Amino acid sequence: MALYATAATVLAAVEGRRGSIKGLVYASRFQNVKQLYALVCETQRYSAVLDAVIAGAGLLRAEKKLRPHLAKVQRRVSRNEDLLQVGARPGTASQVPRFVRVNTLKTSPDDAVDYFKRQGFSYQGRASSLGELRALKGKCFLLDPLLPELLVFPAQTDLHDHPLYRAGHLILQDKASCLPAMLLAPPPGSHVLDACAAPGNKTSHLAALLRNQGKIFAFDRDAGRLASMATLLARAGVSCCELAEEDFLAVSPSDQRYRQVQYILLDPSCSGSGMPGRSLEEPGAGTPSKARLQALAGFQQRALRHALTFPSLRRLVYSTCSLCQEENEDVVWDALQQNPGAFRLAPVLPSWPHRGLGTFPGAEHCLRASPETTLTGGFFVAVLERVEVSR
Ligand SMILES: C[S@@+](CC[C@H](N)C(=O)[O-])C[C@H]1O[C@@H](n2cnc3c(N)ncnc32)[C@H](O)[C@@H]1O
């Protein structure tokens, strides 16, 4: 009887006839948690029958179509590229390990390592080469050779249901996407502006580096993505961030609120051409059209030029998950030319193996990333710093 009720309610919910999944969980007939738990156990015993019922209703086909959207909802992201940051990747990208950033606002790498060891994972210590990351198998894991709070698991490891992830102690974030906050390196107490911030993985990383001391002004113009971001930040224990639904281009650099902003992270919308699996869900998305590239690069240039006008700015990180020169080196070169002698590219991570395309003098200070060269998603990072005038 319980099975029948559950299957019927699931079918109704999936077909959208009655309520939502939330409605299902909070349906008044489940008067207490024990009852609900018993019902779930009972349902699991009959899961094969339930599958047959759903398959009979033709729902598996629909589910397959909806799978990317369901995954986005489950992982609280709104775009395919964000899903790829935390999900399985096809092709060469399936070799990219699962990177897990330990959220130091809530725990420490040592405690996270202990937790995984108690769960039967085998800890191999801090890696000293990419080869060690590539060779990871089974239930083994490592600490990343570069980032002190980054755990590395074999590519197939799925931690989306892990209690530490659900509690905000772990952030599932690709290693390349950890570079911007790490390279911006704002000291605790400083004021930071995150110009295009949602869904907020890099903001939460910045907050961890600040130890929640100081202030992050985070902007995004997409209300839905900001809502996901608020959830993410709350779960991660971030308390130093002010979120605003605003077009960054309309944020005034002369506003007194931002007079102490010395650090800016600019991670604008991009083609996502570095996200290896996009072509699976959006055929052709890996190679953006000329018109789309022009539009994106136009916005990226305006945003970078605008960011460089904040009067107290000392250091800025510009990043994209694109591999297109138009969105990367060209944008940075444009900004440097607009501000001759005022900013320069900081020579960061000299041992990083994949550098900017040599399209202008100094472009080798930019960093690129890809599954083949750095065992990460495709990415670009440039660090601009104000040239101090000696008196
Ligand atoms: C690549 S995503 C940012 C990812 C984010 N930094 C993170 O690590 O989670 C780019 C974001 O820029 C936002 N955006 C685009 N144009 C904007 C604008 N003019 N002002 C503010 N945000 C903008 C988009 O809504 C999108 O959320």
Residue with tokens 């605008």: 306
CA of 199 to the centre of ligand 1 (A): 8
CA 128 to chain centre: 25
**220 labelled as ligand-binding?**
yes
Per the confidence metrics, is the pTM higher than 0.85?
A: no
CATH code: domain 175-386 is 3.40.50.150
295-323 tens-digit pLDDT: 999 999 999 999 999 999 999 999 999 99
Positions marked catalytic:
321
- The answer on pLDDT for 163 being more than 60 is yes
57-84 tens-digit pLDDT: 333 343 334 344 334 433 333 333 333 3
State how far the Cα of 183 lies from the Cα of 269, in Å rounded to an integer: 20
Q: How do the domains of the chain map onto residue ranges?
A: 2-74, 97-172, 175-386
Q: Is 249 in the pocket of ligand 1 (CB under 6 A)?
A: yes
**199 labelled as ligand-binding?**
yes
Residue 276: CA atoms inside 13 Å, Cβ hemisphere, count?
A: 20
Beta bridge mates, 54: none
Rg of the chain over all Cα atoms, to the nearest angstrom:
23
| Complete DSSP assignment for 189-214 | T-EEEESS-TT-HHHHHHHHHHTT-S
CATH code: domain 97-172 is 3.30.70.1170
Q: Is 247 in the pocket of ligand 1 (CB under 6 A)?
A: yes
Same fold, 97-172 and 175-386: no
CA of 186 to the centre of ligand 1 (A): 20
In this predicted structure, what is the pLDDT of residue 211? 98
Q: Do strands 379-386 and 367-369 pair parallel, antiparallel, or not at all (unpaired)?
A: antiparallel
What percent of the chain lies above the pLDDT cut of 70?
Answer: 73
- The answer on pLDDT for 33 being more than 90 is no
Residue of 72, 220, 273 with the most ligand 1 atoms within 8 Å of its CB, for mutation: 220
H/E element, 181:
helix 175-184
Ligand 1, atom 19, lies closest to the CA of 247
